[in-house]
Amino acid sequence: MIKVLPLAVIVGVCTAGCVKEDPPTTAASAALYVRAESVRWSDSCRRIVPLEAGRSFPLPGLTGGKPLFRVFYFALADAGRPRLHPHTARVRPPAYMAWWAADGGESGCAPWRPDVPPPGDDTGPLLSPEAARLSAREREAERMLLYKSLEKAAVHYFADRRDDRAMAEVRDFLRRFDLLSEPGLAPYYYRLAPNFWDWIERSGAVR
């Protein structure tokens, strides 16, 4: 079994959401963040996902025409190293994936090991250089803004809305996602929601 250091004890490391972290209770809380945290504690996830696992940012998808969100769970490649610092932490490939209906209905969790190069335990850094320059407090504030921008981008994706306002909000999501998503997990984010990324490319949001 892989030995990992609980991510929740590494201040500022878990950019997407540590599993032992209480969801924010302020008015600024993003509903999508709270839902992602609640799914982590569902029976299907608790049975298989280690408590120490970090969680990705959610991404939207369509299955049989039904809107949903997906996340994956990962560990740190160098979790056994003393004095692990978020600026130098590196990630391992994801091992589990969870999903839930966008309308708040059913959810599920299962093993997930997509065949994505490069092979091996270490896939890259946890933080982007820009995110590493932020304080833990600044990253947390940006994280909530990312969740809110993702909520807007998902609505446009589900409705296939491509007007100027929609594309501006999708670009805002992309900017925040590029800042905070884990660089070492980029290929897995694409595998998590390929149709979403393809829609963004076709829509003209990326210039």
pLDDT in tens, 67-111: 999 999 998 876 555 445 677 888 889 999 999 999 888 999 999
Structure tokens at 167: 């594309």
pLDDT greater than 80 at residue 9: no
pLDDT greater than 90 at residue 47: yes
What is the separation of C-alpha 203 from the centre of its chain, rounded to a whole number of angstroms?
Answer: 22
CB neighbour list of residue 7: distance below 8 Å, 6 or more residues apart: 13, 14, 18, 19, 52, 53, 54, 76
Instruction: Output phi, psi for 10, to 5 deg.
Output: -95, 100
Q: Are 86 and 127 in contact (CB under 8 A)?
A: yes
- Bridge partner residues of 91 (DSSP): 76, 124
| Percent of the chain predicted with pLDDT > 70 | 79
Q: Are 80 and 3 in contact (CB under 8 A)?
A: yes
What is the separation of C-alpha 152 from the centre of its chain, rounded to a whole number of angstroms?
Answer: 16
- Give Rg (Cα) of the chain: 16
